[in-house]
Amino acid sequence: MDVRDLLRGEFRCECGMTHSCEIKTILVEKGALAAIPSLLQGHNNVLLVSDGNTRPLCGARVRALLEGTGMRVEEAFFDTKALVIPDEASIAFVDAHVSQQTDVIVGVGSGVVNDLCKYVSFTRKLPYMIVATAPSMDGYASKGAAMIISGMKVTYTTHVASWIVGDTDILCGAPMEMIRAGIGDILGKYASLNDWKLACLLNDEPHCQRIEDLIQGELDACAANIPACMRREPAAIGRLMESLAVMGVSIAYMGSSRPASGSEHHFSHFFEITGIIHGRDYFCHGLDVGYATVLSQRLRYQLLNADPAAFAHAFDAAAWKDEIRRVFASRASEVIALQEEVGFYRVDRVQKIRERWPDVCRTIRTSPTGEEVLAMLQAAGYRMEELTAMYPEAVLRDCMIYAKDLKDRYTQLWLWQDIGLLRWAANRVRLN
């Protein structure tokens, strides 16, 4: 697939929805940096955003290329090699460098830099370009900006990048952890696609076969491409970057991350948020998603052993709030407020689930098992002992029970909650 074929503007789909993608250019090739000035033709005042890792990698070269064509460049430089948290302080830092003359923002980096540029450019009504430094996540082409606001993970719907540039000379040199993360973020779609189909079945959500097929095609390509990515072959790394961009385009088509973010992303967000709250280490996003997909699929396949006769809707609000306060501590009130607004706990879906149980089981079987996903990830260097070394068993069990409370999205986690067996199932999942 040529990713440029997907940049079709707005069109009416067979599913009944109108899809759109406002990205002008996705350029992934050797020497792509040289094309940046021509892509930005017509712009004169650039805000360049980078950090202590990405400025020496290629941010300084990007600035030189822009200034070489007469553009004025202002820099918002995070002078650190540590992970920048996309919180209120980081947003304010970037925003403070936007002047009345700024007419485009250019980010040099991956996840955090992209999200910050996406968020600030949207609030300032400016276009932005992302110069990718690693094939590490699928947010390059999406409208979602994942921020940490008041200590909580909040994904804002903003706008897409006007230009996405991936120079394979740069991408191939990314730390192997970042390449593994990109693979993990792609393979996580096995779980998110299945969660989406379950939500269409049980929560009456809209579906688009075009988007499903698009994501499934990139999943298949990624799985076949893993050995070559591990050898850092430029064609393979470029293809991985394109797959990540395609995932973002599919999110833009849907208007939300619904097809590409499910229970596996909820687990990842849980690790990050509780890590920040309790001062614990956590993996980068894509690695967390990869490992979480194994857990998600192991949990999902336990549904095939559930007995519909035992399903029961039950919710003890007081006990739940006590547990939320234990798990989320200082951020518990926000979690409780979110779920009281969403109202999933108040809905009794047991009868619908019983009636559609054969369809639920058929849907589950359309996705790979946890062991099949693990075999793919092992080819990319994933080892479950790395997960259990990072997160104690108690954290992993809590994750499977309470990660759903961080979001307003129906997934298999809410299905388990609906039938009254979530805690039972979470305690049965093999972790190693």
* Secondary structure (DSSP) of 335-392: HHHHHHHH-GGG---HHHHHHTHHHHHHHHTTS--HHHHHHHHHTTT--HHHHHHHS-
248 — pLDDT class (breaks 50, 70, 90):
confident
Show the tokens assigned to 67: 């200034």
pLDDT tens digits for 396-411?
Answer: 999 999 999 999 999 9
pLDDT of 150 reads 85
The pLDDT, as a whole number, for residue 82 is 86
Q: Tell me the pLDDT tens digit for each residue of 197-234.
A: 999 999 999 999 999 999 999 999 999 999 999 999 99
Per-residue pLDDT reduced to its tens digit, 175-190:
999 999 999 999 999 9
Which range has the worst mean pLDDT, 90-94, 105-109, 273-277, 354-358? 273-277
Give the torsion sign (CA, 263, 382, 286, 235).
negative
Specify the pTM. 0.92
Residue type, 216: Q
How would residue 346 be classed by pLDDT, with cut points 50, 70 and 90?
very high
Q: Check whether 356 has a pLDDT greater than 80.
A: yes
Mean pLDDT, rounded, of the chain? 95
| Long-range contact pairs involving 359-365 (C-beta distance under 8 Å, separation at least 24) | 359/201, 360/198, 360/201, 360/202, 360/303, 360/415, 361/303, 361/304, 363/194, 363/197, 363/198, 363/201, 364/194, 364/198, 364/300, 364/301, 364/303, 364/304, 365/304
Q: What is the mean pLDDT of residues 264-278?
A: 95
pLDDT value at position 1?
A: 61
Q: How confident is the model at residue 139 (pLDDT cuts 50, 70, 90)?
A: confident
User: At 19, which amino acid appears?
Assistant: H
pLDDT tens-place string over residues 287-306: 999 999 999 999 999 999 99
**Which pair of tokens denotes residue 225?**
């491409």
Element (H, E) at 47: strand 45-51
Q: Are strands 9-12 and 18-21 parallel, antiparallel or unpaired?
A: antiparallel
pLDDT at 335: 96
Residues with Cβ within 8 Å of 233's Cβ and at least 6 positions away in sequence, in order, are 172
Of the pLDDT bands very low, low, confident and very high (cuts 50, 70, 90), residue 261 is very high
